[in-house]
Amino acid sequence: MLQIDDVRVRIPVKGGRWVEAVGGVTLAVGSGEIVGLVGESGCGKSTLGGAVMGLLPSGSQLSGQVLLDGRDLRGLTAEEYRQVRGNDIALVSQDPSASLDPTFAVGAQVAEAIRNHRDISRRAAREQAVELLRAVGIPDPAARYSDPPHRFSGGMKQRVVIAAALANDPSVLIADEPTTALDVTIQAQILHLLRDLTVRTGTGVLLITHDLGVVAQVCDRIAVMYAGQVVEQGTVRDVFADPLHPYTRALLDSQPAAHHRSGDLPVILGQVPDLTHPPAGCRFAARCARVHDRCTTAPPVVETQGGGRVACWLHDALPPVAQEVS
Amino acid sequence: MTALLDVRGLVVTFPAPGSGLRRKRVHALSGVDLTLGRGHTHGLVGESGSGKSTLARCVLGLQRPDDGSVLFDGTEIVGLRGSALRDIRRRIQPVFQDPLGSLDPRWTVGRSVRESLDAYGVGSPPDRERRVRELLDLVGLSPDHADRHPVQLSGGQRQRVGIAAALASGPDLIVADEPVSALDVSVQAQILNLMARLQRDLGVAFLFVSHDLSVVEHVSDEVSVMYLGKIVETADRADLFANPVHPYTRALLDAVPIPEPDARLVHVPLSGDIPSPIDPPSGCRFHPRCPLRVDSCSRERPALTPVGTLNSADHTPHLVACPVVLPARP
pLDDT tens, position by position, for chain A (326 residues)? 999 999 999 999 988 899 999 999 999 999 999 999 999 988 999 999 999 999 999 999 999 999 999 999 988 999 999 999 989 999 999 999 999 999 999 999 999 999 999 999 999 999 999 999 999 999 899 999 999 999 999 999 999 999 999 999 999 999 999 999 899 999 999 999 999 999 999 999 999 999 999 999 999 999 999 999 999 999 999 999 999 999 999 999 988 865 555 678 888 888 889 999 999 999 999 999 999 999 999 999 999 999 999 999 999 999 998 654 43
DSSP one-letter string for A86-122: TTTEEEE-S-HHHHS-TTS-HHHHHHHHHHTTS---H
- φ and ψ of A140, to 5 deg: 50, 60
Whether B45 and chain A come into contact, CB under 8 Å, resolves to no
CB B198 within 8 A of CB B163: yes
pLDDT one-digit tens code per residue, B74-106: 999 999 998 999 899 999 999 998 777 778 889
Q: DSSP assignment, residue A85?
A: B
The residue among B303 and B327 whose pLDDT is bigger is B303
> Chain A closest CA to B261's CA: distance in Å?
5
Which amino acid is it at A306? G
Cα→Cα distances A191→A54, A167, B248, Å = 25, 18, 19
Distance CA A63, CA A44 (A): 15
Task: Tell me the chain B residues in contact with residue A214 when contact means C-beta distances shorter than 8 Å.
Answer: 257
Decide if B178 is inside a domain.
yes
Q: Which amino acid is at B320?
A: V
Which DSSP string corresponds to B273-315? Answer: PPPPTTSPPSSSTTGGG-TT--GGGGT--PPPEEES----TTS
Q: From the CB of residue A19, how many other CB atoms can be counted at a distance below 10 Å?
A: 21
User: What Å distances lie between residue B179 and A125, A272, B57, CA to CA?
Assistant: 46, 22, 14
Would you call B257 and A271 a contact, using CB atoms and an 8 Å cutoff?
Answer: no
Q: What string of DSSP letters covers B199-242?
A: HHHH--EEEEEES-HHHHHHH-SEEEEEETTEEEEEEEHHHHHH
In the sheet where A71-72 sits, what is the strand order? A17-29, A2-13, A61-68, A71-72
Whether residue B330 has pLDDT greater than 60: no
Q: Residue B47 is nearest to which of A185, A210, A267, comparing CB atoms?
A: A185
Contact between chains at A216 and B237 (C-beta distance less than 8 A):
no
Domain-located, residue A142? no
Which of A40, A216, A260 lies closest to B184 in CB terms?
A40
Task: Say how many C-beta atoms besides its own lie within 10 A of residue B271's C-beta.
Answer: 15
CB A300 within 8 A of CB A320: yes
| Position B262 pLDDT exceeds 80 | yes
pLDDT for the residue B111: 93
For B84, list phi and psi in degrees, rounded to 5.
-65, -40
CB contact under 8 A, A185 and B189: no
Going by C-alpha positions, the residue among A255, A254, A229 that lies closest to residue A309 is A229
CA B73 to chain A, closest CA, distance in angstroms equals 27
In a domain, A252, yes or no: yes
> Does B278 lie at the interface with A, CB-CB under 8 angstroms?
no
Cβ atoms of A230 and A206 closer than 8 Å:
no
Among chain B residues, CA nearest to A42: B184
Say yes or no for a CB contact (<8 Å) between A217 and B257: yes
Q: Write the residue in A186, A212, A237 that is nearest to B259 by C-beta.
A: A212
For chain A, the first-to-last Cα distance in angstroms comes to: 24
- Residue (of B112, B213, B106) closest to B159 by Cα position: B112
Beta bridge partners of B5: B36, B72
Confidence at residue B95, expressed as pLDDT on a 0 to 100 scale = 95
**C-alpha–C-alpha distance, residues A198 and A167, integer Å:** 13
Q: Is residue B189 assigned to a domain?
A: no
- Bridge-partner residues for A25, per DSSP? A7
Is B258 in contact with A250 (Cβ distance < 8 A)?
no
Interface test with B, best of A199, A254, A262 (most B CBs within 10 A): A254
List alpha helices for chain A, DSSP H. Answer: 45-53, 78-84, 96-99, 106-115, 122-135, 141-144, 154-165, 184-201, 212-218, 236-241, 246-253
Q: Which amino acid is located at B80 in the chain?
A: L
Residue A93 lies in a domain: no
Tell me whether residue B46 is in a domain: yes
Q: Is B268 near chain A, with CB under 8 Å?
A: yes
Structurally, chain B folds into a number of domains equal to 1
Pairwise CB contact (< 8 Å): B192 & A265? yes
- Is A77 domain-assigned? yes
Contact call for residues A8 and A65 (beta carbons, < 8 A)? no
ipTM value for the complex: 0.88
**Above 60 in pLDDT, residue B328?**
no
Residues with Cβ within 8 Å of residue B179, at least 6 apart in sequence? B95, B96, B97, B159, B162, B163, B191, B195, B208, B210
Residues A254, B189: C-beta atoms closer than 8 Å? yes
| Number of domains comprising chain A | 1
Residue B275 lies in a domain: yes
- Model-level pTM? 0.91
Q: Are A267 and B189 in contact (CB < 8 Å)?
A: yes
- pLDDT confidence of B263, banded at 50, 70, 90? confident
**Within a domain: residue B293?**
yes
Q: Which residues of B touch A191 (CB under 8 A)?
A: 257, 265
Write b or e for each residue in B98-119: b if 16 or more Cβ atoms lie within 10 A of its Cβ, otherwise e.
ebbebbeeeebbbbbbbbbbee
Share of chain B above pLDDT 70, in %: 95
Domain range for A43? 2-88+170-315
Output the domain CATH number for residue B262.
3.40.50.300
Mutate to test the interface with A, among B181, B232, B253, B268 (most CBs of A within 10 A): B268
A contact test, residue of B141, B184, B216 with most A CBs within 10 A: B184
Range of B240's domain? 3-101+172-184+194-320
Q: Is residue B148 part of a domain?
A: no
- Exposure of B291 by Cβ count < 10 A (0-12 exposed, 13-18 middle, 19+ buried)? exposed
Instruction: Confirm whether A149 is domain-assigned.
Output: no
Question: Would you say residue B233 has pLDDT above 90?
Answer: yes
Q: Is it the case that residue B329 has pLDDT exceeding 70?
A: no
Q: Is residue B257 included in any domain, yes or no?
A: yes
CB pairs under 8 A between A and B: 127
What CATH number corresponds to the domain at position A37?
A: 3.40.50.300
Q: Is A212–B185 a contact, with Cβ atoms under 8 angstroms apart?
A: yes
Q: Does B201 touch chain A (CB under 8 A)?
A: no
Task: Give B15-51 pLDDT, tens digit per residue.
Answer: 887 656 667 889 999 999 999 999 999 999 999 889 9
Q: How far apart are CA A249 and CA A246, in angstroms?
A: 5
pLDDT at residue A326, rounded to an integer: 39
